[in-house]
Structure 1
Amino acid sequence: MKREKRKELLICVMGIILSGGSIFGMNPFCLIFFTSMYMEKICRWFLMPCIAAVLFFTQPVDRMMRYLIPMIIVMFLVKMLEARHRICQKTKGYFLAGISLFVMDMSANALSVPGNNILPVGAVESILVISGSYVMGGMIRFLLSSKDNKYQKEKEDLLLKGREKGKLLAYAESFRNLAHTFLDHQEEDPEEEIVVESEPWRRKELLWRSRYMENRVVLAGQLNEMAHIISDVAEELYDVTKFGEQLDEKVKRVFKREGLLVKNILIVEKKEQKMEVYLTLRVERGNGVATREVSRLLSKVCQKKLIASSDSQNIIHKEYVTLFLEEDVDYKVLSSVYKLTKDGEEISGDNYGITRIGRGREVISLSDGMGSGERAFRESADVIELLEQFLESGFTYESAIQMINTALISRSEEQIIVSLDICDIDLHSGVCSFIKIGAATTFIVRESKVEQLVSTTLPLGIFHHTDYEAVNKKLYDDDYVVMVTDGVLDHIENETPETVMMEIIKKTKRATPREMARKIMESVITGYHTEIKDDMTVIVFGIWKK
């Protein structure tokens, strides 16, 4: 801070000394220097008297007054604008100086001897004052911007980010080390493998020891997943890029013209290269402005389609409010579900979920509980609910799936087996991630072609560490995806039910997802007149360009 003050004082002294010089009978430098320094709010309190003193000793009285009066006008009008609007744009100050000088020359020309026209020279000098103030203001900002200070600030921000990120990564490593302690010190199973009835206490001890070791493995897995989650959060939280002050100032100017006063603004770009804006503003004049109008103005300035979050208030009033805006998506998704319950059962063991993660992702999930009835329903419902909660909280699929699997294994003495089928659609790019864990085949419909995605993985709840298959597919405008449970394919009495299903989908006329799901299910049922031996669910969703 002291270094900056010394630089300001040095620039001020040098400028004041040079203000007394003349070029071809003109002295525009004194007005240029005063205007640029005044608009930068540097040494305002003694700038005028010092320049006036230098002009008094170096210039004739008439020339001194020719420059002092425009300085007084600039000082008075800028103060008035600042009092009314809290801020005065630097451009206005530059133009005020040039126009004031030209008005002085017009007055002098009216009082001068006929034939002595000084207006052309005055006009040239006024233009020189305006352009010179621009240049001088930029030079002063460059000198005071303190390249060093700017780099130092960026370095401090970088170090701060690195320090905070390092803390989170250190926490993650602590959890990993703790998990290793549970795994590294496992006791070996006893060599006695034969348990005789005459030693019931031995059997209980072995069962207890086995359960104890399983719990250690489960706990170690939970700690490892927690470490993985913390690492992911650290990477995502600090992997952002802030836009420059130039864009911030442009937003403030545009909003100012529209009667909106911006207090704070933060424009960042995340690792997916999607813009996010945090904006604190209020209405400066008028009754109120709609939030969608704020989105329109900001989109125009940033040259990106930005939409306010759904929880934003609809009208901006006199009180400051903070809005969160993000890039609008390029695609929309419509989906529908058709379900049938196993004969003799009242409740289907299949469950599904359709949820929006933020503004840019839509997740459609389908789970099939083991068997049918109420128990299968509860198990698949719990899996869908846990998955949605984890994803909405920002967990990755890897972490969410492992946590759900661990919960299923450790929750009950009896084995709980559940399949899980996930479609995660990126509404910005149209790329869909298909994640399958013991799930039935999924079908992608594009024009007259049908592509199938087959899974060979085991369901959740069998092993402590579960494997899953994930594949990314680009979906285009008017593509459809058909998800089914194994009850649908098992109902098709054919050695290759997937092939038959592809033919059924091809013959199904394209319509709304609701109609397509109904027609596909009807084709499966009417084609094979047998009892429904398992719960059957068909989900159809389509994707379209907005």
Structure 2
Amino acid sequence: MKKTGVRQMIFGILGSLACGVSVMGCYPLVPAYFTALYLEQVNGVVLLAFMYIGMTLFMPLTAAVKYGVTLIVMIGAVKLIEWANEGCPAFLAGVMAGLTTLILSFCGSLLEWKNQPDGAAVFLEAVFIFGAVILLNRGIHFLMEWTPVQRKTEELPERGNGERLKNYAESFQGLSQIFLNMSAGKEKYAADELGRVQNELTGKVCASCDSCALCWERDCTPLYGILSSMITSIWQVGEPGAENEAELKKYCAKSRDMVEEAVRVFERVSLNHAWYNRLLENRQVIAEQLDAMAYIMQDCAREERVLDTQERRAISEIRYRAKERGISIEEIHLIETLDGRLKLSAALKSRMGGCISLKSFVTAAGHALGRQMRAAADTKTFISKEPVNYVFYEDTVYRNVQGIARVKKDGAKISGDNFSFLELERGEFLLGLSDGMGSGSMACKESEMVLDLVERFLEAGFSVETAIRMMNSAMVMKGADDLYSTVDLCKINLYTGMAKLYKIGAAATFIKRGAEVECITSQSLPVGAQVQMDISVQETKLTGGDFVVMVTDGVLEYLHVKKPEDTMQEIIESIQTNNPGILAKKIMERVMLFTGGKAKDDMTVLAACIWEK
């Protein structure tokens, strides 16, 4: 942080006054105060000038010489330590200041300078200087970093923005409900529509017939019932029954034309219904997407809480510890996330221009906050002379390890199964497995697209449920060749160990807890099969050493047993290992024994384990 000239002037004047404080013939505040202040990168020349003025005014000549030399030595010592270590810790500077003063006092006694303190006073002075450097440096650092609490003028606009986003979200939800009401389905053929079909038939065929008046003007004509029966037959089975045609032929001279025209009319009506149903589906898709937009706005309206004012002491402590490690903090903010955990945002650079490991700052911040911290993913591992913005999160309780085993279908060049391991910044880990319909490149592209969409939505901050619905909407709109994919997701909270399983047309998932294995199944259609999809969500608690095993349909279907889930449970129970990669491979080896070494479908086994850090 840039030091103001007024503060430097005040500290310089205080340094001059400190030269007048004498205890047992010693002036311990002089080296202690100077060293503590010099560590804060105050202008050394200005500070030294003020100290020399004070020594000239308040000290005898011999003491002024001794402490004047001590200050020059400390400048060199601090510079040397910073050059070698990228930073100078206060305790090390205190040791150097105490030893330098002790040695110079000892040399003064050997030279028999006048007014020299006795040996006990010299030793106590060195001890006092050591402790005073540490305490004064902390106090001066806090004063240098202290700024008056100012009310942010941006608070009201930010709060207004949050309210506006909530209002927008409510509007989008209302619009979504309108689209859902518009897309409410109706019967395939209503009674009035069947009546219109009958009128259209008689209008086209009977209007040009000379016998029309004879057939329809009689009150007792049976044609009404015959046509109604024939239309009902076409509606139900797609063609008129033989008895309907025979009955119609008795009373209608153009019975053949009537039947052919009825089939053509129903073909057109069926096509219209197909397009209308497609329109309804598109409306439902739009409603789903509007709901997702409303969720985004509601999520944005829930702002994270900035703790800069409440945690000023902690922030000052972070700056102090970073300074001792040679790290300069240009800007820092402490934030409480929506789930109540800490996030730290800081612009860091090296004070001396060298490269410093980012772990050094993570350790310093963790000690200052009293919590373990971790850097965001894909962050630079070294701090350089150019300021860079870094983000740090409260560290998780658990870490995860994954393993995979895959076998392609015999004769296939590529597997139709795809998997995903995704660690989110909010301390959650996602396992994903998708089985594309069929095998080969087309199935691979479909399952890859599904997982890619889910990953993108989750990284953007969507919930898993919203991500699945958005992805399903995209797949329904795509609708190419009726290719569908199963989705099997497991989201693990690495803070609490809670796991949520989302299964859409997927095979069973197995949880291995020591010697026990739990089987989790569901019955639902794959993604893209319908607009209103059924998401099966199940929750379970994991502890250190528990495994999650996910498999595709090809693994269970070709075990050739009545209850493949029970057999898979027995296979997993019989394997003893702490390595998820070995577990996945051994499961695949056992499965291949059941299939005789043949792979009639793509097979994938995904295993993951969590361990306490």
Q: Which TM-score band (shorter chain)?
A: 0.5 to 0.7
Which of 172, 178, 184 in structure 1 is aligned with 2:172?
178
Further displaced range: 302-311 or 125-134: 302-311
- 1:517 matched to which residue of 2? 588
Contact 1:98 1:126 in 2 (8 A): yes
C-alpha deviation, 1:471, in angstroms: 2.5
Unmatched runs of 5 consecutive residues or more in structure 2: 202-264
1:539 aligns with 2:536: no
1:24: how far off?
A: 6.0
| Equivalent-residue separation in structure 2 for 1:142 and 1:400 (angstroms) | 46
Cα 1:194–1:366 change in 2 (3 A) is same
Q: Which residue of structure 2 lines up, in the alignment, with residue 332 of structure 1? A: 401
Contact 1:66 1:101 survives alignment (8 Å): no
CA 1:216–1:105: 2 relative to 1, 3 Å: same
Determine which of 415, 433, 453 is the counterpart of 1:365.
433
Task: Structure 1 unaligned segments of length 5 or more: list them.
Answer: none
| Among candidates 430, 454, 458, match of residue 521 of structure 2 | 454
Aligned to 1:397: 464
Give the aligned partner of residue 502 of structure 2: 435
- Residues 507, 167 of structure 1: alpha-carbon distance in 2 compared, 3 angstrom cutoff: same
Distance 1:431 1:187 in 2: 39
SS class of match (2:401): strand
Q: 1:228 aligns with which of 287, 290, 295?
A: 295
Q: Per the alignment, in what secondary structure is the counterpart of residue 455 of structure 1? A: coil
CA contact (8 A) 1:405 1:460 kept: yes
1:346–1:373 Cα contact (<8 Å) kept = yes
**Equivalent runs, 1:55-204 vs 2, <5 Å:** 63-64=60-61, 66-67=63-64, 70-71=67-68, 73-75=70-72, 77-78=74-75, 81-82=78-79, 85=83, 98=98, 101-102=101-102, 105-106=105-106, 108-112=108-112, 118-143=118-143, 145-146=145-146, 149=148, 151-152=149-150, 167=161, 170-171=164-165, 174=168, 176-181=170-175, 183-184=177-178, 194=193, 196-197=196-197, 198=200
Instruction: Quote the Cα distance in structure 2 between the aligned partners of 1:214 and 1:233.
Output: 29
- Distance in 2 between the 1:174 and 1:424 partners? 30
Deviation string, structure 1 residues 74-108 (Cα, Å, up to 9, x no partner): 15752785598497665566566655655554455
1:355 to 421, 425, 435: 421
Relative distance call for 1:176 and 1:460 in structure 2 (3 A) is farther
Task: Quote the offset at 1:333 in angstroms.
Answer: 1.9
Structure 1 residues 311 and 521 mapped into 2: Cα distance closer, same or farther (>3 Å)?
A: farther
2-side partners of 1:318 and 1:435: how far apart?
43
1:138 is displaced (CA, Å) by 4.5
Distance in 1, matches of 2:386 and 2:509, equals 49
Tell me which amino acid in the other structure corresponds to 2:586: E
Of 471-480 and 433-442, the range deviating more from structure 2:
471-480
Please list the CA deviations of residues 375-408 of structure 1 after superposition, one character each: whole Å capped at 9, or x if unmatched.
Answer: 7665445323433443455543112200111122
Match of 1:421? Answer: 488
Partners of 1:248 and 1:352 in 2: CA distance: 46
Tell me the TM-score normalized by structure 1.
Answer: 0.67
CA offset digits 1:283-309 (Å, max 9, x no partner): 9799xx9x9xx4776787658697996
Aligned twin of 2:215:
none
Q: CA deviation at 1:436?
A: 0.9
Paired residue type of 1:336: A
User: Does the 8 A contact of 1:513 with 1:542 survive in 2?
Assistant: no
- Residues 166, 437 of structure 1: CA spacing in aligned structure 2 closer, same or farther, 3 A cutoff? farther
Larger radius of gyration: 2
**Offset from partner CA, 1:198-223 (integer Å, 9 cap, x none):** 39899988776665454333223213
Checking the alignment, whether the CA contact within 8 Å between 1:508 and 1:519 is kept in structure 2 is no
Amino acid aligned to 1:406: S
Q: Residue 117 and residue 353 in structure 1: after superposition, are their counterparts in 2 closer, same or farther (change >3 A)?
A: closer
CA separation of 1:164 and 1:502: change in aligned 2, threshold 3 A? same
The number of aligned residues is: 514
What pairs with 1:197-212 in structure 2 (closer than 5 Å)? 197=197, 198=200, 211-212=278-279
CA distance in 1, matches of 2:415, 2:46: 83
Q: Secondary structure at the match of 1:194?
A: helix
Structure 2: how far apart are the matches of 1:144 and 1:497?
70
The letter for the 2-side match of 1:541 is A
* Per-residue CA distance 1:215-235 (angstroms, 9 max, x = gap): 333223213213324555776
Please say if residues 25 and 117 of structure 2, whose CA atoms lie closer than 8 Å, have aligned partners that are also in contact. no
Overall identity of the aligned pairs, in %: 18
> What are the residue-to-residue correspondences of 1:2-81 with 2, within 5 Å?
16=16, 20=20, 36=36, 40=40, 63-64=60-61, 66-67=63-64, 70-71=67-68, 73-75=70-72, 77-78=74-75, 81=78
Kept in 1: contact 2:32–2:132 (CA 8 A): yes
Residue 533 of structure 2 corresponds to 466
* CA distance in structure 2 between the partners assigned to 1:285 and 1:143 by the alignment: 25
| TM-score normalised by L of structure 2 | 0.61
> Per-residue deviation at 1:477?
2.9
CA contact (8 A) 1:350 1:367 kept: yes
- Compared with structure 1, are the counterparts of its residues 66 and 99 closer, same or farther at alpha carbon in structure 2 (3 Å cutoff)? farther
